[in-house]
Chain A
Amino acid sequence: MTKKYGMVIDLHRCVGCGACDLACKSENNTPVGINWASHTTETYGVFPKVSYKHTPTLCNHCEDAPCVRVCPTHAMHKTDEGFVVHDPSICIGCKSCMLADPYGVIFFNKEHAFLDFATDTSSAVKDGTFSKKELSDKAKAPFPNFNAARGADGYEAVRRKGAVEKCSFCNHRVAKGLSPACVVACPADARIFGDLNDEKSKIATTLRAHKPTVLLPEKGTNPKVFYIREYN
């Protein structure tokens, strides 16, 4: 049977440290303002009965993805393994996917990401610290607008402006048998990633043992990111 990947986030284990957010940034070199992995926080109730909710967010890799439905060129597409991924080479930058996405997890690259590393010659301490441009020049690479790990395997490594981008479930890592960067970085093992079609997999057994929820179930998108248990 074809693999169908998904992710479970155990909210009871999650400590809200943000390691997943940072690991994603590091792995995928996303610029400021573009967060493939992120989180929402909510404080509710009336003192002294106040509760707090921390919900990690990422692309839900929906079975019925609205972003895939509206994309005019199939740049946003679904793979056989259930990844909703984006091909920037045919993206026209119309942003329809962002408008259709009910979760707000698709981002538009309005400017060349990290352009300041090619142009900014100012330094914090004159003759004492590198400017961004010096750093980039000495690294002899379009650093850090270059994802060496991702680019090494035929994926687009340099992030150019005018296209959208989003979480890919680190499909470049999964292809090598590794887990997504956010899963590996989680200090509380709150994230379980795996094949939903394999009944013996940890994700499938976990989902059977709990009552999973998804974000915005009323949208009917059939997300593949599930949440179990609660923080409180």
Chain B
Amino acid sequence: MMQLLWDIRVSLDLFLGGLGVGAFLVGVILYYVDAKVYDGFVKKSFVIAPLLVIAGLLLLLTELGRPLNVIKTIYAINPTSFMSIGIFLQSAFVAVALLIAFKVLTSGVESLSSKIVYAGAILAGLVGLYHGFLLSGIAKEPWNNAIPVIFFVSSILSGASLMVLLNLGSLESLVTRFKLPLIINMVLTIELAAVFAWVYNLALTTASSKHAYDVLISNFSMEFWVLSILMGLIAPLAIFTLVILNKLSLKAVAIPTFAIIVLGSFFLKNLVVYLGQAV
């Protein structure tokens, strides 16, 4: 029987943190493209991002045996521990993102300094990568070096999808200016390639990685093939391909398609967290 040391709260932390980071980075892109045109979108991104990351961190705190001791991580630093480094990165991101959110809510998007947005973007990127390194640093077979890429791309996809869902009014503008289905399909393809690299590495390298692959295929087939791959990646890829080919209207399929990308991101991250503990 699987000894579950990290339960769904850790998965939710990685998922919500990823959503926040993705939402923030999409907001940053639109801020630099045209802050005036995308004012509403950018505002929502910058406000929701820290809230999602904080929600994830609060869930994580409930998972710790001694949450009050987290304060001691400020001076008891272990440079070889990704968690130790990540605590500083996440704290810095939350501080900068909250400052940006406060400025946006009180003085509007135009009041933001591009330097602080840039600093926030760098921190968001580092936090997005940290989510995967937290697992790969522990070095269990399923938590190999493909995980930081998978998690980061998944965070970008889910964060962007969430923000599109919250800004359906801007959909036409985004499609016209950015060819949105094309960009999303490119990112979905990168994610599929990263997942393929991960599975390939598990299935064909060492004896213990092959065991991990067997567990993935036999015990987590529903979560992996159906919820993560088919629903979260292949179905949206196919739908957006039909949209690109003008066989479908994006407006008609936007809500369910972006929603399954968000859900798929959760199922994929949850699967990885659980699989690492099952082998």
Contacts and interface: CB of A to CB of B under 8 A. Distances in A.
B218 interface: no
B138 A73 contact: no
Given A73-B69, A73-B84, A66 B64 contact: no
B80 interface: yes
B72 A108 contact: no
B78 A73 contact: yes
B5 interface: yes
A70 interface: yes
Contact of A162 (B6, B65, B81, B276): B65
B138 A71 contact: no
A93 B64 contact: yes
Contact of A95 (B65, B76, B77, B87): B65
Interface string A84-98: 000000111111101
A151 interface: no
B139 A91 contact: no
Interface in A87-117: 90-96, 98-100, 108-110
A163 interface: yes
A39 interface: no
B67 interface: yes
Contacts of A7: none
B73 A73 contact: yes
Contacts of A92: 64-67, 69-70, 72-73
Interface string A58-79: 0000000010011111110000
B276 A73 contact: no
A74 B76 contact: yes
Q: Which size class do B's interface residues fall under?
A: 20 to 34
Given A72-B81, A72-B87, A108-B5, A100 B139 contact: yes
Contacts of A70: 80-83, 137-138
Contacts of A74: 76-78
Contacts of A94: 64-65, 83
Given A95-B5, A100-B138, A163 B73 contact: no
A3 interface: no
Nearest to A104: B3
Contacts of B138: 66, 70, 96, 99-100
Given A91-B66, A92-B73, A93-B69, A72 B277 contact: no
A132 to B, nearest CB: 25
B137 A108 contact: no
Interface in A158-182: 161-164
B140 interface: yes
Contacts of A95: 5-6, 65
A201 B173 CA distance: 78
Contacts of A110: 65
Contacts of A108: 5, 65
A74 B69 CA distance: 12
Given A66-B139, A71-B78, A72-B78, A99 B65 contact: no
Contacts of B87: 72
Given A73-B72, A74-B76, A99 B6 contact: yes
Contacts of B64: 92-94, 162
A168 to B, nearest CB: 19
Contacts of A72: 73, 76, 78, 81, 83-84, 87
Given A90-B72, A96-B83, A100-B138, A163 B65 contact: yes
A218 to B, nearest CB: 8
Interface in B59-114: 64-67, 69-70, 72-73, 76-78, 80-84, 87
B279 to A, nearest CB: 11
A94 B72 CA distance: 13
Contacts of A66: 138-139
A47 to B, nearest CB: 28
Contacts of B5: 95, 98-99, 108
Interface of A: 66, 69-75, 90-96, 98-100, 108-110, 161-164
11 contacts: A72-B78, A73-B69, A73-B76, A74-B78, A75-B76, A90-B69, A96-B81, A96-B83, A98-B5, A100-B138, A162-B64
Given A73-B84, A92-B72, 6 more contacts: A72-B73, A72-B81, A72-B87, A92-B64, A93-B65, A99-B276
A-B pairs with the 7 shortest C-beta distances? A93-B65, A162-B65, A72-B83, A73-B76, A72-B84, A162-B66, A93-B66
